[in-house]
Amino acid sequence: MAVAGSAPAYSLAATTAVLVGAVGVAAPAALLYCAIPMLGIVLAYSRLGRIDINAGAAYSWVGRTLHPSLGFLCGWALVVAATLFMVAGSLPAGQLTLALFDPALASRTGLAAMVGAGWFLVMLLVVLGGARLTVRAQLLMTGVELAILLLFIGGVVLHRGAAAAFDWSWFGFGHFDGAGGFASGALVAAFYFWGWDVTSNLSEETRDSRRTAGLAALTGLAVVFLIFEAFTVAVNVVLASGKVTSGGADVLVLLGDAVWPGIGGKLLVVAVMLSTVATLETTLIQVTRSLFAMGRDRTMPSGLGAVHRRWNTPHIAIGAVGAVALVLFAAASALGSVADIVAEAVRAMGLLVAFYYGLAGIAAVVAYRRTLLTSPRELLLGGVWPLLGAAFMLWVFFESLGALPTIAVAIGLGGLLAGLVPMAWYWRRGSPYYRPAPLDAARALAAAAPYGVPRQDGRGGADGSPETLATDF
């Protein structure tokens, strides 16, 4: 699920042209220098998930450590980013499906939107059917996708024709156009990696989730990082930069045709289509579980927190997301080409992702502040690395505001600020979320002894305080 959430083939197809347009041949460096602080955010999620199992993930953690309003905005940022992705992911899915039958049809945005909406509805029904069905479908789609990508990595190694010789400088800072250029590249790279945190949103439905969710996120990040680096290096070697930026979402098709003329492009189209459909599924899980947590806390309409008796899924939240997405499909079909829509959506989503990842990293340091000095390992993995990851994400967020196109900033910031309306409304109505029990790792871990799990029986600790609860469930 973590690998599918980051959608390796889709991210490469939809985002490589945007990344190369921002930083040129420094694309491998942008991914590398974003992966290092991103690992700090993965560590933060892993540690927070040990002491608070919550489908809302950062929404709950940030609210209980920093401030409820910041926590709500974290949850809202994920909801807006995921909603944007319904369009940014479904349109290429429709376009790629059409390209398999007739490449001339792929340029028709309206038709691509209709076919993409069909894929979206199929995934909506799969997610509605429960976590077991979702995972089985994911294993099939992501397994085939990874097999095709690994096959092509081998093909690139054996490929003899080259547009450029491999150069280690592609991993350095020399090709960036100042701090603004680096921030623009890092923002796009953040979108590449986004999605591994779906494991935290599934924590309430996972066995041994205090350990499993974090380990899965770490493993997923490692897998997609290696694939991303291999393919961006391959693009630099096999394709010229001008060809990449003009190719847009077809960059993997161009790479496939260059490596294996004829069949190579078709195979990578299949991989991208499977990846796109698979990541639609994981994104639906993220947004519906986040809305479920918000509905349960009554920071959004309480109906969103309802669970279907048979399927054990938040069916009302799933239906609401489906209705909103279908309206966006209709609007997107009149906005322009698929490539233009995806490019602006990617930049806007990158802003939102950097925002809520940054706050989650700070939340982990605050929650574990009383344990950080117990050992050098605890200080590094629990304090320094998550804090550096958070600082990097927030720096990218603010630095990019002046470098991005106006429409991308308007979509990203406008979507985030729109969350102030429901936040103020439900705060005034007295939602208990805005009176949180502070999340303190030292108390939670003390309450876990000697059984290894934090207490959830509703009784306080030795001092009678209720804050020893690790989770509200």
Low-confidence ranges of the chain (pLDDT < 70): 159-164, 240-250, 262, 265, 332-343, 448-473
Residue 460, pLDDT score: 41
Q: CA–CA separation, 353 vs 186, rounded Å? A: 12
DSSP-assigned letters across all residues of 379-448: HIIIIIHHHHHHHHHHHHHHHHTTTS-HHHHHHHHHHHHTTHHHHHHHHHTT-GGGSPPP--HHHHHHHH
Q: Judge if 384 and 457 occupy the same domain.
A: no
Q: Which amino acid is it at 267?
A: L
Same domain for 446 and 404? no
Q: Do both 165 and 30 map to the same domain?
A: yes
Kindly state the tokens that stand for 95: 């376009």
The rounded distance, in Å, linking the Cα atoms of 56 and 61 is 8
Question: Burial, 402: exposed, middle or buried (Cβ in 10 Å; 0-12, 13-18, 19+)?
Answer: exposed
At 313, list the tokens.
Answer: 């899924």
Residue matched to tokens 């260059």: 258
- Number of domains within the chain: 2
Q: Which residue has the tokens 């279908």?
A: 326
Q: What DSSP line would sit under 54-115, residue for residue?
A: -TTTHHHHHHHHT-HHHHHHHHHHHHHHHHHHHHHHHHHHHHHHHHHH-GGGGG-HHHHHHH
Do 329 and 455 reside in the same domain of the chain? no
Q: Residue 472's pLDDT is what? A: 32
pLDDT of residue 249: 52
DSSP codes of every residue in 107-154: G-HHHHHHHHHHHHHHHHHHHHT-HHHHHHHHHHHHHHHHHHHHHHHH
Q: Are residues 171 and 259 in the same domain?
A: yes
d(CA 64, CA 267): 47
Residue 134 CA to residue 123 CA, distance in Å, equals: 9
Helix axes 8-23, 131-158, angle to 10 degrees: 50
Residue 201 near residue 131, CB atoms below 8 Å: no
- Residues 377 and 467 placed together within one structural domain of the fold: no
Q: How far apart are CA 31 and CA 39, in angstroms?
A: 12
> Residue 319: what pLDDT?
92
CA distance 7 to 224: 8
pLDDT of res. 471: 35
Co-location of 372 and 448 in the same domain: no
Same domain, 259 and 180: yes
Q: CA–CA separation, 15 vs 279, rounded Å?
A: 14
Same domain? 381 vs 299: yes
User: Is 428 found in the same domain as 459?
Assistant: no
Domain span including residue 447: 440-473
d(CA 365, CA 342): 35
Q: For the domain that residue 287 is a member of, what is the CATH number?
A: 1.20.1740.10
Q: How far is CA 456 from CA 273, 348, 440, 444, 461, in A?
A: 43, 39, 15, 10, 11
- Distance, in Å, from the CA atom of 461 to the CA atom of 431, rounded to the nearest integer, reads 26
pLDDT at 25: 82
pLDDT at 261: 74
| Same domain? 394 vs 470 | no
Residues 412 and 455 in one domain: no
pLDDT for 362 equals 96
